Amino acid sequence: MSSIIPATSLTAQTIAEKVQSGEWTALETLENYLTQIAKSDAEIHAFNTVLEDEARAAARAIDERVALGEDVGPLAGVPVAVKDNLCTKGMRTTASSKILENWNPPYDATVVKRLADAGATLIGKTNMDEFAMGSSTENSAFGPTRNPHDLTCVPGGSSGGSAAAVAAGFSPVAIGSDTGGSIRQPASLCGVVGVKPTYGGVSRYGLLAFASSLDQVGPFANTVRDAAIVHEVIGGYDPKDSTSISEPFPSFLDAIEDGVEGLKIGIISELMGDIDGISSEVIQKTREAATLLSKNGALVEEVSIPASLYCLSAYYLIAPAEASSNLSRYDGVRYGLRVDGETLAEMNINTRTEGFGDEVKRRIMLGTYALSAGYFDAYYGKALKVRRLLAQNFDEVYSKYDALLSPTSPCTAFKLGEKTSDPMTMYVNDVCTIPSNLVGHPAISVPFGSGSDGMPIGVQILAPPMQEALMYRVASTLESAEK
Amino acid sequence: MSLMTEPISEKEVAHVAYLARLRLSDEELQLFTKQLGAVLEHAKDVEALQLDGVEPMSHPLPLENVTREDEVDEMLDRKEVLNQAPAVEDGRFQVPQILGEQP
């Protein structure tokens, strides 16, 4: 099997220290990554756009500031790859859709701005499933991304380009968005760390909306600590996002090495065999992770989240319902593609029919249907009640436990084309990650060994809202025990 | 799946496509009807639940209205915004004829 995995990878923490101290320059650091991209991205296709010139200019500016003795920030000279659904001012932002193929946003997403303010260099925009709808990055209008561990396999999705970019050594860290697992599942399949923050913890300003009550932006990294460093940079209150949490979060880094001694950790029993389609190998790995945590002093027990049995159905009613509303803005009037028609309605129809791919059309129609008169109560209404039950289940479990453990993805990376003919088969990939999105809680996927096919397996740690510090602590323990 | 009661008919899919401003070919209509049917079939587990008295939850956070002082702030540049539009006339977005059109 053909793979493109670097022998060693630098951490963002190391890069920032060396650049800030003047030992390395931001420019030479960037050039090393650009060389990797030039060498191998034709095979992997992690990027829709590589921002060579813009990144070089940013790197030079950072080196000048270091020379002047300025403190550049926690990501001094660290290249960052950003998913192509986050707005970058004057730089193409496509969501991997034909409808936005040539769109240059007039503003930066808050996350993009905060990365730049922290000294990061934006190295490129990464490939994704169109409008973040998918679990394999095969729904990109510009062709799929391949898994760096095996080029015949998918990287997962929808943030597959960001996950692949970190795994292939194209960028030390990356940014994705997670609506039902779109950061954690590709992180698991590519053998990197991926985090979905607490809903409201990271600004959605400038994130192209898919399902607004579920979407959250988060980091990919090679280490848990790097993920926490990037998360601290992009997180925090933003007045431009009306759902942004104004209370400060406890530091993600201060307690990261405090271990798990005395913590109570629950394993979600429904995701350990009750729900069909989760491979025994993945379940076995998750049990090994549980054993490791108890060896490190945690109390680990099975717990029940009964409503998780209904999450997949609830999610695939709620997310399409919100998407059908959010994507009505792509009408050929103000920006993006326009395909002409005699009347306004014809122009709208021509534009959307030509501009959207099949999966986006399916979800728009499913959502429109779930919200339509006569079906609203049976589908959307019921799904929202399942969501309430789920939140109650989590509240009850968190009254006795500090954090939870489960698989991230039900399987290791699958072959390109293996699951594209049947949408429901593809949707099942999200079964372990969806619950956190429905309730808005944080969760992380940490690499934890590999399967019999040699492909990476990740385990997931879930924590109560705003308890990322605890989540990173448990993840860091697993990471160091695994190494 | 019972052949007698398909979860969604081609007629319904065609109507939904129209509402969502999408045009489907005959082959697409058949395929999407089958695929959407499979998703709705899966959703029958939720449809079958007895959830009377459970309060629906549309959002993970208790949402409050967010307001700010009415002060002029940094704004998008009008020219830059219009630059990204498919068609512009006199500093405004241009669209095909609306008046006289069938709804």
Q: What is the pLDDT of residues A239-265, one digit of tens each?
A: 999 999 999 999 999 999 999 999 999
Measured in whole angstroms, the distance separating CA A376 from the mean position of its chain's CA atoms is 30
Across the interface, of B23, B36, B86, the residue whose CB is closest to A362 is: B36
Identify residue A463 by its one-letter amino acid code: A
Torsion of CA A57, A61, A64, A69, to 10 degrees: -160
Tokens representing A429 are 């990939």
CA distance B93 to chain A (A): 6
Q: Is the pLDDT of residue B101 over 70?
A: no
A166-179 as b/e: b if 16+ CB within 10 A: bbbbbbbbbbbbbb
Among chain A residues, CA nearest to B80: A106
Rounded to 10°, the helix A26-44/A12-21 angle is: 150
B40-95 pLDDT, tens digit per residue, is 999 999 988 999 999 999 999 887 888 888 999 888 999 999 999 999 999 999 99
CA dist A272 and A406 (Å) reads: 7
| Chain A interface mutation, best of B27, B30, B31, B40, highest count of A Cβ atoms under 10 Å | B40
Tokens representing A208 are 């192209």
pLDDT score at B67: 85
Judging contacts by C-beta atoms under 8 Å, the chain A residues touching residue B73 are none
Check if the beta carbon of residue A159 is closer than 8 Å to that of residue A176. Answer: yes
Radius of gyration of chain A (CA): 21
CATH of the domain at B36: 1.10.20.60
Q: Is the minimum CB–CB distance between A349 and chain B shorter than 8 Å?
A: yes
CA distance B13 to chain A (A): 7
Judging contacts by C-beta atoms under 8 Å, the chain B residues touching residue A104 are 84
CB atoms B61 and A366 under 8 Å: no
Identify residue A427 by its one-letter amino acid code: Y
CA dist A143 and A218 (Å) reads: 24
Q: Which of A145, A185, A194 is nearest to A45 (CA)?
A: A145
CB within 8 Å of A91: residues ≥ 6 apart? A49, A51, A54, A104, A105, A125
Across the interface, of A200, A352, A389, the residue whose CB is closest to B22 is: A352
CA distance A255 to chain B (A): 26
ipTM score of the complex? Answer: 0.93
Given the residues A96, A158, A445, A476, select the one marked as catalytic.
A158
Which structural domain range is residue B24 located in? 6-48
Q: Into which CATH architecture does domain A12-252 fall?
A: Alpha-Beta Complex (3.90)
CB atoms A312 and B42 under 8 Å: yes
Identify residue A185 by its one-letter amino acid code: Q
Q: Is the pLDDT of residue B1 over 50?
A: no
Among chain A residues, CA nearest to B38: A424
Judging contacts by C-beta atoms under 8 Å, the chain A residues touching residue B35 are 362, 422-424
Across the interface, of A317, A332, A423, the residue whose CB is closest to B86 is: A332
Judging contacts by C-beta atoms under 8 Å, the chain A residues touching residue B61 are 199-200, 243, 245, 440
Establish whether A182 is a catalytic residue: yes
HEC states along chain A?
Answer: CCCCCCCCCCCHHHHHHHHHHCCCCHHHHHHHHHHHHHHHHHHHCCEEEECHHHHHHHHHHHHHHHHCCCCCCCCCCCEEEEECCECECCECCCCCCHHHCCCCCCCCCHHHHHHHHCCCEEEEEECCCHHHCCCCCCCCCCCCCCECCECCECCCCCCHHHHHHHHCCCCCEEEEEECCCCCHHHHHHHCCEEEECCCCCECCCCECCCCCCCCEEEEEECCHHHHHHHHHHHECCCCCCCCCCCCCCCCCCCCCCCCCCCCEEEEEHHHCCCCCCCCHHHHHHHHHHHHHHHHCCCEEEEECCHHHHHHHHHHHHHHHHHHHHHHHHCCCCCCCCCCCCCCHHHHHHHHHHHHCCHHHHHHHHHHHHHCCCCCCHHHHHHHHHHHHHHHHHHHHHHCCCCEEEEECCCCCCCECCCCCCCHHHHHHHHCCCHHHHHHCCCEEEEEEEECCCCCEEEEEEECCCCCHHHHHHHHHHHHHHHC
pLDDT score at A2: 87
Judging contacts by C-beta atoms under 8 Å, the chain A residues touching residue B8 are 369
CA dist A198 and A329 (Å) reads: 27
Task: Specify which residues A196 forms β-bridges with.
Answer: A443
CA dist A413 and A189 (Å) reads: 5
CA distance A103 to chain B (A): 7
Sequence ranges of the domains in chain A: 12-252
CB atoms A382 and B93 under 8 Å: no
B27 inside domain? yes
Q: Which of A358, A339, A426 is nearest to B28 (CA)?
A: A358
CA distance A279 to chain B (A): 20
pLDDT score at A8: 83
Among chain A residues, CA nearest to B33: A362
pLDDT score at B62: 83
CA dist A316 and A370 (Å) reads: 10
CA dist A77 and A28 (Å) reads: 9
Check if the beta carbon of residue A320 is closer than 8 Å to that of residue A214. Answer: no
Across the interface, of B19, B47, B101, the residue whose CB is closest to A343 is: B101
A415-468 pLDDT, tens digit per residue, is 999 999 999 999 999 999 999 999 999 999 999 999 999 999 999 999 999 999
pLDDT score at B5: 66
Residue found by looking up tokens 């002082």 in the block: B69
How sure is the predictor about B4, in pLDDT bands with cuts at 50, 70 and 90?
Answer: very low
Judging contacts by C-beta atoms under 8 Å, the chain A residues touching residue B29 are none
Q: Which residues of chain A are modeled with pLDDT < 50? A: none
CB atoms B56 and A381 under 8 Å: yes
What phi-psi label fits residue B73: left (phi over 0), alpha (psi between -120 and 50 degrees) or beta? beta
pLDDT score at B3: 45
CB atoms A107 and B76 under 8 Å: yes
| Chain A interface mutation, best of B6, B9, B61, highest count of A Cβ atoms under 10 Å | B61
Q: Is the minimum CB–CB distance between A373 and chain B shorter than 8 Å?
A: no
A–B CB contacts, 8 A cutoff, strictly below: 169
- Count of structural domains within chain B: 1
Residue found by looking up tokens 């390395």 in the block: A24
